[in-house]
Amino acid sequence: MKEVNIESKLYVFKNFEELPNEATLLMQKAIKAREKAYAPYSKFYVGAALLLDNNEIVTSNNQENASYPSGLCAERTAIYYAGSQYPNAKVIRMAITAGSKNKQTTNPIPPCGACRQVIAEYEIKQNTPIEIYFMGEIGKIVKSNSLANLLPLMFDKSVL
Using CB under 6 A as the binding rule, whether residue 74 contacts ligand THU is answered as yes
Q: Does 112 bind ligand THU (CB under 6 A)?
A: yes
Alpha-carbon distance 150 to 154, whole Å? 9
Burial of 82 (0-12, 13-18, 19+ CB in 10 A): buried
Main-chain dihedrals φ then ψ at residue 48, nearest 5 degrees: -135, 145
| Nearest CA among 92, 130, 86 for reference residue 111 | 130
The strand pairing partners of 60, in sequence order, are 48
For ligand THU, the binding residue among 111, 132, 142, 144 (CB under 6 A) is 111
| CB of 36 vs ligand THU, minimal distance in Å | 13
Assign 87 to helix, strand or coil: coil
Residue 46 as a binder of ligand THU (CB under 6 A): the answer is yes
Return the number of the residue (47 or 148) whose C-beta is nearest ligand THU: 47
10 or 53: CB nearest ligand THU = 10
Which of 18, 22, 56, 75 does the annotation list as catalytic? 75
75 is catalytic: yes
Give the nearer residue to ligand THU in terms of CB position, either 53 or 110. Answer: 110
Would the CA dihedral through 60, 9, 24, 52 be positive or negative?
negative
Instruction: Decide if residue 73 touches ligand THU (CB under 6 A).
Output: yes
Q: Rounded to the nearest 5°, which phi and psi values hold at 53?
A: -75, 0
How far apart are CB 37 and ligand THU at their closest, in Å? Answer: 7
Tell me the sheet residues that pair with 93: 51, 131
Q: Active-site positions?
A: 75
What is the contact surface with ligand THU in residues (CB under 6 A)? 39, 42, 44, 46, 62, 64, 71, 73-75, 111-112, 115
